[in-house]
């Protein structure tokens, strides 16, 4: 079938007139709730079909919308292989970055020194698991509790020191 240019023009005029006509308000089709293992909500049924299937109209009943959970963030390892370079105005001056790195290194080294000093004090007080008993520790269980607390404090300090060393290792030399 061949379409001629005057036919397309007539079609366009007719379509334009149809779109320009005022839209009459139509009542929306009723929404039905149909029973079943998966409960179904539909507006594609006639009143007779809805009665036959045992569906009820939900017109005028409140509808509750439950929002689902947002999608889980993607792990960093799933990032695209091709990284988009930063625009030139967002890049940091190499000299300024070097100053930042030096400041970070100085702060971390100071923190490391303090933590190592505190660890040495804790180990000295711990005395290889046999610290001196204090006057309020007549009950032997109090003494054992204090020794256990000291041991866990030492383990925590060692973990802190290891974390600081890892952070220092990440910094450029």
pLDDT digits (tens, 9 = 90+) for 149-164: 999 999 999 999 999 9
Whether the per-residue pLDDT at 143 is higher than 70: the answer is yes
Q: Which residues contact 104 (CB under 8 A, 6 or more apart)?
A: 171
Summarize the confidence of residues 5-22 as an average pLDDT. 48
Largest CA distance in the chain: 110
Q: Residue 55: give the domain boundaries.
A: 30-59
Give the chain's mean pLDDT: 80
The number of domains in the chain is 2
- 126 inside domain: yes
d(CA 147, CA 65): 56
Q: Which of 37, 161, 171, 71 is nearest to 111 (CA)?
A: 161
Going by the DSSP 8-state scheme, the letter that residue 61 receives in this structure is S
Name the pTM for this structure.
0.47
- 14 inside domain: no
> Which of 39, 59, 79 marks a domain boundary?
59
d(CA 12, CA 47): 38
- 71 inside domain: no
């Amino acid at each position: 079938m061949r379409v001629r240019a005057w036919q397309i023009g007539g079609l366009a005029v007719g379509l334009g007139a149809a779109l320009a006509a005022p839209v009459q308000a139509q009542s929306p089709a009723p929404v039905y709730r149909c029973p079943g293992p998966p409960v179904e909500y539909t507006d594609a049924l006639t009143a007779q079909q809805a009665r036959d299937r045992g569906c009820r109209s939900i017109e005028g009943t409140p509808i509750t919308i439950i929002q689902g959970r947002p999608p889980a963030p993607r792990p960093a390892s799933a990032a695209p292989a091709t990284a988009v370079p930063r625009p030139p105005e967002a890049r940091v001056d190499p000299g300024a970055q070097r100053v930042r790195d030096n400041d970070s290194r100085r702060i971390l080294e100071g923190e490391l020194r303090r933590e190592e000093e505190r660890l040495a004090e804790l180990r000295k007080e711990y005395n290889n698991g046999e610290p001196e008993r204090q006057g309020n520790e007549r009950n032997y269980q109090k003494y054992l509790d204090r020794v256990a607390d000291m041991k866990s404090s030492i383990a925590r300090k060692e973990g802190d020191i290891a974390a600081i060393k890892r952070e220092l290792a990440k910094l450029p030399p």
